[in-house]
Structure 1
Amino acid sequence: KNKKKETVVFSIHEILSGDHRLILNKVYENKLITHREYNNLKSISNANAETHVNELMDKIMNKGEDKCKDFLNLLQTDGAIKETFPLLARLQLSCTPLLSEPVQDVYQINSRPVGLCVIINNKNFKDGSQRRGTDKDARNLAEVFQCLGFRVLMCEDLNKDQMDQALTFVASLADMSHFVDPQQALEHGDAFICSILSHGKRGVALGTDRNPLPIKEITRKFRGCDQSVLTGKPKVFLIQACQGSNIQRGVQMNDMEIDDDTSPLTIPEEADVLVAIATVEDHAAIRDPFDGSWFVQSLCEQLKERCPRGEDIVSILHYVNDDVQMPEVRFTLRKKLVLPPQRT
């Protein structure tokens, strides 16, 4: 099957590269891709024809078997395509070899609950300022990760030392009586999620006292070691905070707010960690005072839509990157992290 797949995919790519613009236009006309996807694919620069075809094919294959069938049907029935690419008639086109991929390692998610999701929501700061809209972000994240089987712990308005203490406790589960009912035992499952909603500077998130807690220190609390039950398990950190004061080119601010507080961002060296930050370094993270931050809005929408399809977290964050200008994702995950919704 793998050999068949390689032959068919290569042949289709080679043939369609003869006029990739025709294929792109036909695919868009038949509503196999969205207007945004069409514009993104059309605007790819510094790439040869085969790269354009590869990107288009990847978009379609990621939409599942039905879209794949529609695409193959288009290749076989459209008059202009048949006339332009007569060699297609010699191929036996099937979705099976196109959709079949080599088996990749996936993190095993079997525990119930799946694991802990800690949300630190800093809204009210000691100087009297507020991060309006952050409560909606916190609620949306809690809803999504509860549906994905996580036990959610919500921590609100923590200063730097309280953030540090809370995360240290969570990492070791040493003493969480300040945050949950002492009668309710906490256990780490097969995955861990930490989301911090706050102001920030380059490489740090701020407590409500505006003192900085480096993101690097946060992730290191959960690094794998012989004593940690999280060793070898995926640990995801979602940070809604500015990394500077620059506004990304093309962003229309209007009534938006930024999560800055006018240090380089580093990827953790430890394995099995993913850090997704709302913006690239030196830039501001945009937040709507009513609807919440752009990053968290998009993230929650994409998780709701794509987790039920079995898509992995890195692939989902690619869609967030495409939708929001412009988060930054860095990871040392060794396998795919797939989080299917849990039945209630």
Structure 2
Amino acid sequence: MSAKDTLRRNKTSIQSILCADYRLILNKVYERNLISNREYNNLKNINRENDEGHTVELLDKIMNKGEQVCRDFLQVLQTDREIETTYPELKNTLQVDASLPPNSVQERSLDEPLPAAKRSRKEQQYQLNGNPVGVCLIIDNENFQDGSKRSGTNKDVQSLAEVFSWLRFRVLMCKDQTQDQMRRTLSCFASPRDLSQLQGLDVKEWMTSGFVDLRQAPRHGDAFVCCILSHGEKGAVFGTDRNPISIKNITRTFGSTDESPLGGKPKVFLIQACQGSLCQRGVLVKDLEADAASPFVPEEADVLVAVATVEDYVSFRHKKDGSWFIQSVCEQLKEGCLRHEDLATILSRVNNQVSQRECLGKPGAVKQMPEVRFTLRKTLLLSPDV
């Protein structure tokens, strides 16, 4: 039986038990990120409802979120010690369903992989066991050949260096690269290279509070992060010569091959660049609703790309405080990694946070909506060096 069916079948019993202290269960599901901040505030402030009414609203909200959230909710009910102490009757209510007759077997094709629930937690996560975990490469284009300058990008570079070194990555940076230099840099980092080739690209390494000359060739670890900070156009970023390199070609440079040191390992790309010249405007929304493995992997698997804005639109950068997108990424990584959240969840929070930004004194005049797309096959959890 699915988790959603389990909740539906036992809904009356569960809600009568949980209403004894509905605020506790509301806070628990919020702590586990099963409901959004907006949903939490809405549920907390329901008017003209008794305790059971609040609980019914919460259960309905959980059930409408789909099978995975229902499964996570049941796990909270069955494993949280404070819940077990507060609602002892739940133990009997949530016994394993025995609707199938004894010795019954559900048929499954031999070629079909085991459901995710049957696999071990370890098999469902990318294993990041090295120290350092891997390399974080930052390509920062600040000064362009036409005389223009991306003021504020230094703040983004520092924030990225601090957070990814905290997450146990070796942080390297290349500054002000043309299209051709960017291609060479990405090609070097996509495969093992000797130190002399990297020194020719003027690679710097982050050490505690600043960048110094690279002294030791980096080795690929269990993950790779590439941050590109530049101007851009639809589907592409610019070198300092204003010549574009497509985001698709950037990610495909790191595609899995038989010789690739990053085959089967997660590769994350954070792109801070405009994707067009249009400016998004805010829309006033009334009554808004809350919202057994093969040894082969696809060539373009294990990639996550997070772009500052959707195609055709500009992104925003403060001349002193850095860009909306990169600053949000670093802030949410610091908070989410301490809560053991996976990267996709953290970046969804970035999307939400950036989407709510406004220019001072101009509500709704300009907006920004980042975009995340990925071919990750497993959960990617980054752990801080604490």
Q: TM-score, normalised by structure 2?
A: 0.65
Count of residue pairs brought into register by the alignment: 302
Partner residue, 1:176: 198
Partner residue, 1:324: 354
Match of 1:246 among 270, 273, 278: 278
Pairs within 5 Å for 1:1-344: 9-11=7-9, 27=26, 36-38=38-40, 52-54=61-63, 55=65, 58=69, 91-92=90-91, 103-104=120-121, 105-174=124-193, 175-178=197-200, 179=203, 183-250=215-282, 270-325=300-355, 326-343=369-386
Distance 1:150 1:166 in 2: 18
1:115 Cα deviation after fit = 0.5
> CA distance change for structure 1 residues 185 and 248 in 2, over 3 Å: closer, same or farther?
same
> CA distance change for structure 1 residues 5 and 72 in 2, over 3 Å: closer, same or farther?
farther
1:191-237 CA-to-partner distances (Å, cap 9, x unmatched) read: 00000011110000011111101111111111110111100000000
1:48-72 CA-to-partner distances (Å, cap 9, x unmatched) read: 997633449959x69x979x96996
Maintained 8 Å contact 2:279/2:313: yes
Amino acid paired to 2:159? N
Distance 1:142 1:95 in 2: 47
Distance 1:110 1:278 in 2: 30
Q: TM-score, normalised by structure 1?
A: 0.73
Distance 2:60 2:82 in 1: 18
Gaps in structure 2 of 5+ consecutive residues: 17-21, 45-56, 97-116, 205-212, 284-297, 356-368
Maintained 8 Å contact 2:255/2:299: no
1:171 Cα deviation after fit = 1.1
Distance 1:144 1:107 in 2: 20
1:248 Cα deviation after fit = 2.2
Secondary structure of the structure 2 residue equivalent to 1:108:
coil
1:92-133 CA-to-partner distances (Å, cap 9, x unmatched) read: 489999xxx764410111112110100011111112111121
Amino acid paired to 2:198? M
Secondary structure of the structure 2 residue equivalent to 1:120:
strand
1:253-272 CA-to-partner distances (Å, cap 9, x unmatched) read: xxxxxxxxxxxxxxx96011
Distance 1:238 1:13 in 2: 43
Maintained 8 Å contact 2:14/2:90: no
> CA distance change for structure 1 residues 317 and 160 in 2, over 3 Å: closer, same or farther?
same
Distance 1:122 1:16 in 2: 56
Amino acid paired to 2:217? A
Distance 1:9 1:317 in 2: 29
> CA distance change for structure 1 residues 27 and 49 in 2, over 3 Å: closer, same or farther?
closer
Secondary structure of the structure 1 residue equivalent to 2:345:
helix
1:6 Cα deviation after fit = 6.5
Secondary structure of the structure 1 residue equivalent to 2:198:
coil
Secondary structure of the structure 1 residue equivalent to 2:225:
strand
Distance 1:155 1:96 in 2: 57
> CA distance change for structure 1 residues 37 and 242 in 2, over 3 Å: closer, same or farther?
farther
Secondary structure of the structure 2 residue equivalent to 1:298:
helix
Maintained 8 Å contact 1:17/1:49: no
**Aligned residues: percent identity?**
49
Maintained 8 Å contact 1:8/1:93: no
Larger Rg: 2
1:291 Cα deviation after fit = 1.2
> CA distance change for structure 1 residues 183 and 120 in 2, over 3 Å: closer, same or farther?
closer
CA RMSD of aligned residues (A): 4.3
Distance 1:17 1:243 in 2: 48
